Amino acid sequence: MTAAPLTADELAVLPVFPLPRVVFFPGSRLPLHLFEPRYRALIADCLANGPHAMAIALLAPGWESHYDGRPPIHDIAGAGRIVAHERLADGTYNVLLDGVARVRLEELAPDEFPYRRARAAALEAPESELLVSRADLTALVSAASAIAAEVRRAHGAFSLGIEPGDTASRLADTIADRLVSDTARRQAILETVEVPARVRLVTATLAEILAVVGGSETARRPDLAH
């Protein structure tokens, strides 16, 4: 079941969890282990006082030298609801988030909280769904299915996670989450709000992956070379 959208009150003061190499898409699920004191405080506050949600923001280049403070982050992030949590004996937390929105963050000034918070605006372009062509959707699903077939050679239970009736936006996000591993490309896809452009970007990324997969297959089987 899809988690409920974030309310205006929740978006007004949204806790931010910055991470390296993690891009969180709407419609995906993200397990987290929170162990730093500031992020243990974040989840404790969320559970006690709300919102039961947070933004996952990708750290921007140069974050390493500022990690203990307020390193730079990308202002387009994924926001999700806390749908499961467990406090461990050592005081750390396991948390499961359901992705519900891509958001633009306007970070709030530092205050008494040890973690960062932001005013968030949900980025949606539902009207652009109507502009996605059937040909573009077919190309997206075809490329994804071809890569999924290769993945199943090693991991037979792998699933794309797409369902009949999924919107073009959900298809693009789900396929990107399952098949695109490059962090910079994932962030570029997250930042592409207009659905037709996002569908084409994901398809182009999958074409690059297929080119590599195809090259590897040819190397394994010289009879495929032309």
Residue 53 · residue 8 · CB < 8 Å: no
| pLDDT for residue 65 | 74
C-alpha to C-alpha distance for 39 and 57, rounded to whole angstroms:
13
Neighbours of 63 (CB within 10 A): 17
C-alpha to C-alpha distance for 46 and 44, rounded to whole angstroms:
5
Residue 53 · residue 118 · CB < 8 Å: no
| pLDDT for residue 216 | 56
Q: Which fold has domain 8-122?
A: 2.30.130
What average pLDDT values come out for the chain (226 residues) when binned by 10 residues? 88 97 97 97 97 97 79 96 98 98 97 96 93 97 96 94 95 98 98 98 97 62 36
| pLDDT for residue 68 | 75
Residue extents of the structural domains in the chain: 8-122, 126-224
DSSP 36: S
Measured CA distances, 127 to 164, 169, 203, 208, 224 (Å): 20, 11, 21, 29, 44
Structure tokens at 121: 């605006």
| pLDDT for residue 1 | 57
| pLDDT for residue 224 | 33
DSSP 99: E
What's the first-to-final CA gap in the chain, in angstroms? 48
Residue 84 · residue 95 · CB < 8 Å: yes
| pLDDT for residue 220 | 45
